[in-house]
Chain A
């Protein structure tokens, strides 16, 4: 299996621009998670989906952040407008609902200048 695939791997953008991060979960997995990692706060859950439905988005920092999962094989995390404090590594992970294992993508390294 190809694993969880994220794109882009690296992005540098100017403040105020829209950023879209993409994730393809492992085929057959029905739970998808978006995490943000910073030096100060470590890994933080932003939102997770079960069967393409958002279950808990309490970790989404503010209205500038939105996430969608239009089908079982694709999810996006959008930041509009982006700000320098959004600079972080954004990880997507997938698993089977009720299973214990979780698989991470390689992360999207975002820098907002």
Chain B
């Protein structure tokens, strides 16, 4: 069983749609990260959360510690948002990663 589960695995949306990616985890954590990876590219950290909600531009990340669940929302999606989004949690000095959600936004 993976410590971090993401859904959906693949997601295709029309430009302008509201998108939600979900992450559930089973270990105690000190922080949760949402990472973005463009095709052929490196990994960029979008958010680091330990409670509540953060917003950066069109991206919003929320976390519910009691339910061990986080969501990443993208408002007014754009083709440049097409990427793999990875949920990662820090537990002790270990990081556990979800398998990623591949998002394609169609113009």
Q: Is the CB of A55 within 8 A of B93?
A: yes
Interface size classification for chain A:
20 to 34
Interface of B is mostly: strand
Residues of chain B contacted by A55 (CB below 8 angstroms): 93
Question: Could you give, for residues 79-113 of chain A, a 1 whenever the CB lies within 8 Å of some chain B CB and a 0 otherwise?
Answer: 00000000000010100011011111111000000
Which residues from B are CB-within-8-Å of A31? 93
Knowing A43-B86, A50-B93, A100-B48, say if A106 contacts B30 (CB, 8 Å).
no
Q: Which of A42, A97, A103, A104 contacts B93 (CB 8 A)?
A: A97
| Smallest beta-carbon distance A7→chain B, Å | 13
**Contact call A101/B45, Cβ cutoff below 8 A:** yes
Contact A102 B90 (CB under 8 A): yes
* A-binding residues in B (CB < 8 A): 30-31, 33, 35, 41-45, 48, 50, 86, 88, 90, 93-95, 97-100
Q: Which residues of B contact A100 (CB under 8 A)?
A: 30-31, 48, 50, 90
- Give me the interface of A with B, judged by CB distance under 8 Å: 31, 33, 42-43, 45, 48, 50, 55-56, 91, 93, 97-98, 100-107
